[in-house]
Amino acid sequence: MITFHNPLHQGHAPVHEFFRGERVPCFEKPARVDYVKEALRARGHTMAAPDVDCSAVLEQVHAPRYLAFLQTAWQQWLALDPANAAVQPFPSVWPVRTLRSDVEPDNFVARLGLYSMDNGTPMAAGTWAAAKAGADAAASAAARVAQGTRAAFCCTRPPGHHAGPDFMGGYCFLNNAAVAAQTLRNQGAQRVAVLDVDYHHGNGTQSIFYDRSDVLFISIHGDPRTEYPFYLGHADETGEGVGGGFNLNLPLPAGTSAATWFEALEKACARIAEHRADGLVISLGLDAFEGDPISRFALASSDFTRLGERLARLGLPTVFVLEGGYAAAELGTNAVNVLDGFEQ
């Protein structure tokens, strides 16, 4: 399968994140994509650099003030103190209920809170460049599919599905899957479906398309009553306005077996067929894997082949976008199993 990789992903290399009050090494690390690229090469997939500038599409899915902030965030951080080059900024205050989110404080860390949903999304010097090149790779994959190629894969990090219209979160900065879906729409698809199979609910993608009927969003994920991102992804979220009925959440309890997971996949596939989608984006998180260190589903590596086979039977032009998956050494096998299952 033609794969668009992100040539700048290694510039996004924050060192630590917070977990239970402790600083721990980042789960979302450059080696993840290196393992996927290694498996792609070993199994004969074609690799290409991004050939589309997604800037105009980014403005269709993200707010201008968020994009402006993100683009220069690291320089703003260094302007406070050159020694900050060796330190990761973390937000400390968030504009929750009753606080104002229409003001943009002069204080950088306060602005970081305005544009973040959590303190679990560390930035580094090359974060903007990496996120932008990744979104370019997603747009490139979608453009290739819009031009008639059956399927394409965007192999990138940082991931994207937690990034909402105007915020980062969950290791995500720019919503690559939303960029892919919007690119398909811009280039002729009438009805797109985004199916998110990452262990975590794709809250960002849901929010971006929540009031739209042209992009159906479906997610199979750990029940947010116990799993991140907690505050979205519940079964009663079905869309709003003309988007009513065009959002389907299929939360499953932590510990769910592969058999039950595939039952949810059947529901998702039935809804995609009912939508008469003419383009499909898969938010391809591999953290439903039984060996994932931060997730609690039980898919085996062979189940990812089965996932690819089932998605192929939808018969749709398909863009795969890499999301999460933290069992780094198995990530290549699991991701490429989906692609090979799709193509066999």
Q: Which residues bind ligand SP5 (CB under 6 A)?
A: 19, 120, 159, 162, 170-172, 198, 200, 228, 285, 287, 294, 323-324
| Shortest separation between residue 63's beta carbon and ligand SP5, angstroms | 21
Identify whether 200 is a catalytic site residue.
Answer: no
Rg for the chain (alpha carbons), in Å? 19
Q: In this structure, are strands 192-196 and 279-284 parallel, antiparallel, or unpaired? A: parallel
Of the two residues 140 and 205, which places its CB atom closer to Zn ion in the complex? 205
Residue (of 59, 206, 243, 189) closest to 135 by Cα position: 59
120 interacts with, out of ligand SP5, Zn ion, none, CB within 5 to 8 A per kind? ligand SP5
Q: In this structure, are strands 192-196 and 215-222 parallel, antiparallel, or unpaired? A: parallel
**CA 134 and chain centroid, separation:** 11
| Shortest separation between residue 200's beta carbon and Zn ion, angstroms | 4
Of the two residues 265 and 284, which places its CB atom closer to ligand SP5 in the complex? 284
Q: Which x/- pattern, by CB under 5 A, does the window 195-214 give for Zn ion?
A: ---xxx--------------
294 interacts with, out of Zn ion, ligand SP5, none, CB within 5 to 8 A per kind? ligand SP5
Residues 273-332 that bind Zn ion (CB under 5 A): 285, 287, 324
Phi-psi region of 245 (alpha: psi -120 to 50; beta: other; left: phi over 0): left
Residues with Cβ within 8 Å of residue 79, at least 6 apart in sequence:
none
- Of the residues 12, 62, 161, 162, only one is catalytic, namely 162
Of the two residues 91 and 243, which places its CB atom closer to ligand SP5 in the complex? 91
| Shortest separation between residue 199's beta carbon and Zn ion, angstroms | 5
Taking CA atoms, 99 is separated from 102, 103, 111, 114, 232, in Å, by: 9, 10, 13, 10, 20
Residues serving a catalytic function are 162
